[in-house]
């Protein structure tokens, strides 16, 4: 039991390090989104450069996130835990498996393939790959020692990894491919029917913020597996449930980031947290709070779990209450 707890703690530490190391990426992406919103209001676009070009740039930066997560987790796993295995080959193998599984499961036309979009696979596959190849390398340990005694380290390392690389690749591809087939979520699970919008809204709030806490893009993940069409229905006059969610529930981004920034300005004495709060201020006005999530970090910070998940729920309750009292 203690060993399992230690391994779980180590995986959490690796995930924390992996996502925190991507903070510069999140800041860049946030800055691009902010720039696009400002450009829409103040720049007169011409035929050679238009708003679609900026949107394409945003899609590119956002689309590469799962790949970066995969690479970052692979790197930190082999750097902090599986230190005896080849770092570069493990990262390459993890990325190859991730892209291959996504291609086999989701792509019908290779010419239309752009980026993978499974955050779950991006996180799980590096862990599986690192564990599997480390165990296989134990079998080849004597062979590796024999090679090193007769060849240079670089050549012996390249040769000894050939079979483990191939074996791990096919084991991983088979496992995750059949796992993906058995969990077919393409059409989305229809949890609630019409007239249950409030229930689905609350579920979306809870699960999406909880997933964000663990480093998974909560809204994207939830919307990918759950059919949320009924949230296009109107909650108030001229206001759908989706718009209610964006405007009154998660103002400042997931976890109601604007509330946290205000609290930081009034109460924080920590220099690092104060700096992150100031840096994130322009972005939270546009519901962009990755800087807060991975900069403080809120990610895997269990002391902030309850407010991060419950504040949006309270916002939703208050919004619905004021609406009901006003009609």
CA distance linking residue 205 with residue 266, whole number of Å: 26
Region of 198 on the Ramachandran plot (φ > 0 left; ψ -120 to 50 alpha; else beta): alpha
Q: Kindly state the average pLDDT of the residues 152-177.
A: 82
The pTM score is 0.72
On the question of pLDDT at 284 being above 90, the answer is no
Domain range annotation of the chain: 2-182, 197-326
Residue pLDDT, tens place only, 97-140:
999 988 888 776 777 677 787 777 888 899 999 889 888 888 87
Orientation angle between helical segments 153-160 and 162-182, nearest 10 degrees: 40
E strand or H helix at 54, and its extent?
helix 51-63
Peptide bond before 320: cis, by omega within 30 degrees of 0?
no
pLDDT tens, 211-257? 887 776 677 667 766 777 777 788 777 778 888 888 888 888 888 88
Is residue 218 within 8 Å of 271, Cβ to Cβ?
A: no
The structure tokens listed for 284 are 């939270």
Q: Please tell me the least confidently modeled range out of 148-152, 270-274, 322-326.
A: 148-152
What pLDDT shows up at residue 186?
46
Torsion angles phi and psi, residue 160, rounded to 5? -70, -20
Report pLDDT for 187. 47
| Cβ atoms 94, 18 nearer than 8 A | no
């Amino acid at each position: 039991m203690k060993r399992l707890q230690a391994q779980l703690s180590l995986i959490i530490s690796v995930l924390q390090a992996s996502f925190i190391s991507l903070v510069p990426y999140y800041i860049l992406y946030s800055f691009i989104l902010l720039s696009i919103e400002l450009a829409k209001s103040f720049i007169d676009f011409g035929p050679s450069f238009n708003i679609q070009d900026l949107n394409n740039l945003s899609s590119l930066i956002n689309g590469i996130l799962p790949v970066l997560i995969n690479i970052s987790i692979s790197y930190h796993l082999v750097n902090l835990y599986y230190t005896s295995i080849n770092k570069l080959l493990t990262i390459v193998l993890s990325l190859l498996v991730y892209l291959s599984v996504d291609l086999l499961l989701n792509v019908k036309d290779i010419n239309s393939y752009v980026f993978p979009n499974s955050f779950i696979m991006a996180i799980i596959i590096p862990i599986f790959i690192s564990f599997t190849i480390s165990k296989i390398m134990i079998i080849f340990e004597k062979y590796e020692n024999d090679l090193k005694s007769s060849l240079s380290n670089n050549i012996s390392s390249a040769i000894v990894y050939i079979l483990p690389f191939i074996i791990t690749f096919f084991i991983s591809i088979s496992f995750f491919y059949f796992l993906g087939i058995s969990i077919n979520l393409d059409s989305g699970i229809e949890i609630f029917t019409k007239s249950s919008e409030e229930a689905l809204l609350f579920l979306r709030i809870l699960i999406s913020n909880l997933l964000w806490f663990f480093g998974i893009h909560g809204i994207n993940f939830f919307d990918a597996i759950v059919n949320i069409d009924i949230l296009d229905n109107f909650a108030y006059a001229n206001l759908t449930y989706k718009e209610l969610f964006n405007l009154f529930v998660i103002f400042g981004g997931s976890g109601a980031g604007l509330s946290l920034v205000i609290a930081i300005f009034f109460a924080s004495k920590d220099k690092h947290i104060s700096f992150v709060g100031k840096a994130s201020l322009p972005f939270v006005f546009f519901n962009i709070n990755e800087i807060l999530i991975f900069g403080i970090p809120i990610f895997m910070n269990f002391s902030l779990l309850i407010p991060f998940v419950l504040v949006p729920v309270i916002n939703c309750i208050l919004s619905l209450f004021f609406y009901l009292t006003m009609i």
